[in-house]
Structure 1
């Protein structure tokens, strides 16, 4: 990339122009220029007709994108930690959280939902307030937090995966049970629970009314229970295929929701080569491509060498191919990056570059109900975007129009 300073506009508003790029808009790559005004994606035609002088129109800086791809920034809505830090650790510091957020931008992630794994009320009371939503993390070259994803403890003991069974319970008193365990829900974006548990249906309905996304996971729900949950407001499946009952033609369980004609949920898909076989990814994408959301489910071992790490108090053996509870073959999160998931989706399914980028950016924003400002490069949206080469490797990452990662600094 090369940059040049243009004539400085008289206005104090910062204006950036990135020319010669292929911008992802409305699901298509369009060769055009990307304008950023005061941290937002701007319409150059509107500026032309509303500003009176050439000096006012001129950008502060012009960058030659050299034909690279400009995608909305990636959004990871299931991230347990990374780079040696476990988000469920009650002793985690704000500096450690910032360290994760700063290192994520190298993978194209501009925003994320810090995910807490099933824990005790004491742990939630000590840790949850450390993950307040952020809007200006770019000033510290870090990805923004979009609210917590609370995965458990209202999940099935039969499909607990790497979760600690001793802290699991049913939401017998509905949302009151959740508040007793979690505390206040003001900063919560997503809750993963098992819809077959006592009190879960009323909980799903109450959460939906509060604007909190409910996702089904770690569950043995049959298809009829799953359908009722969708009717009550369930909108997502957590790490599809994993920690849920297997598909059966007479009772497809949670996966059966993808065959509905209405209320079809989004579903998180982890493409690390371990959580799902490539043919499974191809099948699920063919079934409901508009619902596919790439997630990493990454844990503390992300970005580091194979060794022993911790996930919510559980010892995890990170190997070259994945993360496992020590002494078992139970998967305990992943060590994959979001940009890798994008490339793998194309490899596994043969989908277009555009579809893969949407699954990592626009789709998670839709899940959270923020697609008017995140996960899009439409005019007026937040200027969170990533510049990639044709092999879909991250070159530059921008948040609010500010450069937060430049791959050239690695050389």
Structure 2
């Protein structure tokens, strides 16, 4: 149900708008559902904008955030519709750059990938996720050859779509060019080396580099498999983010990759060598100020994968690089039991210490993806680091958008002229409503009833 459908639902226009006569005039002025130029003003609200929370209004039209000065002084007009948010907070939508699946579906093995993507894109809205990278873990060549063309066609079909769903901002291919000593939940039989350089990558994925760049945003690889960083350099030259992970690399190998363009670390602390005072390994990249390049790092803040003290150390070392990721698998949004991540069976149980749900490879104690949601991760980060709400929100919005190169116009900000993908939350990061292209894509029934709608007659 979009915003206009909600306002003019059949149980009475006056139930949402302040005055029945005004409401009928408003509807008459916008016959045939032509709401493309509707100017909407969110008022009595707070905005997370420019590194602070301010008391201000948000104006949107045609799916774009508007500059009120232009409206007041140049257009000299007023809003067609005002929405009183009762002092709730508007934030840019969350961005998840590592998501393996959810709601019982898995991107790597799903037999109907189009339906899988559609279902998850819709389901993520309730957690405030407006953009994400579907993540495919290490697979056989045949699986990539089948999956990637289907996803390419699916993404192409969405180009002119008005569907109100979370936006897919490119795939994250996690493997198969990773270290067998740091498998995690990946199948050892699918792993490959980079001895043949970029040709090995094009061969296993079944697409040329130019084709891959159209649908791929991130590739995770172990830098020790590319000792001269030739693959890293070619990928980054094409605009693909190279992430270092599932690796036994030392700090020097990590530095070499970063110098040649790598800009991300996949799920910091997990599936990599631990910090050591003589060689801090990949973790040492967080505080290496000799590097000119900015490094971002993913953190699974689910209370299971990474101890709060470790998160706090990482955050205090490099707060402007932390990117919250769920690394969620198919059981996200479902109850406990046996599920899948790729071809591996996963058991969902409750951790006896934290009482949080966690995912293990069946019959082992190997963690393999989380069941956390992004709003949970934001809350957990605040607890772990005692950072402010502003700082935590940046890690789920601005930082991942900058990593992907889509900040500020496409995601991660409330800047004027940027895409109006945003969420309405309370101070405890409970998501009340999610907007895509300025339209209501999801809302909580118990919260939106507290919004007040005022139609203006011009």
**Is 1:380–2:417 an aligned residue pair?**
yes
Contact kept, 8 Å, 2:65 with 2:418, in 1: the verdict is: yes
Alpha carbons 2:36, 2:61 under 8 Å: kept: no
Per the alignment, residue 274 of structure 2 pairs with 246
Whether the aligned pair in 2 keeps the contact of 1:137 and 1:144 (CA below 8 Å) is no
CA distance in 2, matches of 1:79, 1:407: 23
Partner of 1:13: 37
- For the aligned residue pairs, the C-alpha RMSD in angstroms reads 2.1
Secondary structure (helix, strand or coil) at the match of 2:126 reads: helix
* CA distance in 1 between partners of 2:35 and 2:225 (Å): 58
The answer to whether structure 1 residue 49 and structure 2 residue 88 are counterparts is: no
How far apart, in 1, do the equivalents of 2:334 and 2:403 lie?
A: 30
1:341 maps to 377
**Which stretch shifts more, 150-159 or 184-193?**
184-193
Distance in structure 2 (CA, Å) of the matches to 1:384 and 1:325: 36
* 1:165 aligns to 2:188 (yes or no): yes
Deviation at 1:264, TM superposition (A): 3.9
The answer on 1:128 being equivalent to 2:128 is: no
Taking the aligned partners of 1:27 and 1:120, their CA distance within structure 2 comes to 44
Structure 2 residue aligned with 1:33: 57
Q: CA deviation at 1:199?
A: 5.8
> 1:336, CA displacement in angstroms?
0.2
* Aligned residue number for residue 116 of structure 1: 136
Report if the CA contact (8 A) 2:121-2:165 is conserved.
yes
1:371 to 407, 417, 421: 407
Deviations along 1:300-322, whole A, 9 cap, x unmatched? Answer: 00000101111111111112321
More off after superposition, 218-227 vs 259-268: 259-268
Alignment partner of 1:78 is 2:101: no
With normalisation by structure 1, the TM-score equals 0.94
Structure 1: gaps of 5 or more residues:
none
Which SS does the other structure have where 1:47 is aligned?
A: helix
Q: Tell me: CA distance 1:3–1:66, structure 2 relative to 1, closer, same or farther (3 Å).
A: farther
Deviation of the 1:96 alpha carbon:
2.4
Q: Which runs of 4+ in 1 moved over 6 A?
A: 134-138
Does structure 1 conserve the Cα–Cα contact (< 8 Å) formed by 2:227 and 2:253?
no
**Residue among 285, 297, 300 paired with 2:330:** 300
Alignment match of 1:61 (pick from 54, 69, 81) = 81
Query: For residue 222 of structure 2, what is the aligned residue in structure 1?
Result: 194
Take 1:49 and 1:181, find their aligned partners in 2: how far apart are those partners?
57
Instruction: Show CA shifts across 1:143-192 (max 9, x none).
Output: 01000000000000000111000010111222221111112312100000
Could you tell me whether the CA contact under 8 Å between 1:192 and 1:214 is conserved in 2? yes
Task: Please say if residues 194 and 200 of structure 1, whose CA atoms lie closer than 8 Å, have aligned partners that are also in contact.
Answer: no
Which of 305, 329, 342 is equivalent to 1:312?
A: 342
CA 1:171–1:208 in structure 2 vs 1: closer, same or farther (change >3 Å)? same
The separation in 2 between residues aligned to 1:12 and 1:215, in whole angstroms, is: 40
Q: Is the 8 A contact 1:88 1:116 kept in 2?
A: yes
Q: What are the superposed Cα offsets for residues 120-164 of structure 1, whole Å, 9 maximum, x if unpaired? A: 111011112343447669833310100000000000000011100
Match of 1:353 in 2: 389
Change (3 A) 1:270 1:189: same
Question: Contact 1:257–1:264 (CA<8 Å) still a contact in 2?
Answer: no
State which structure, 1 or 2, has the greater radius of gyration over its C-alpha atoms: 2
State the 1:200 CA deviation.
6.5
Q: Distance in 2 between matches of 1:298 and 1:87?
A: 11
The counterpart of 2:261, out of the listed 225, 233, 253, is 233
Q: Pick closer, same or farther for the CA change 1:254–1:319 going to 2, 3 Å.
A: same
Distance in 2, Cα, partners of 1:154 & 1:139: 37
Equivalent pairs counted in the alignment come to 407
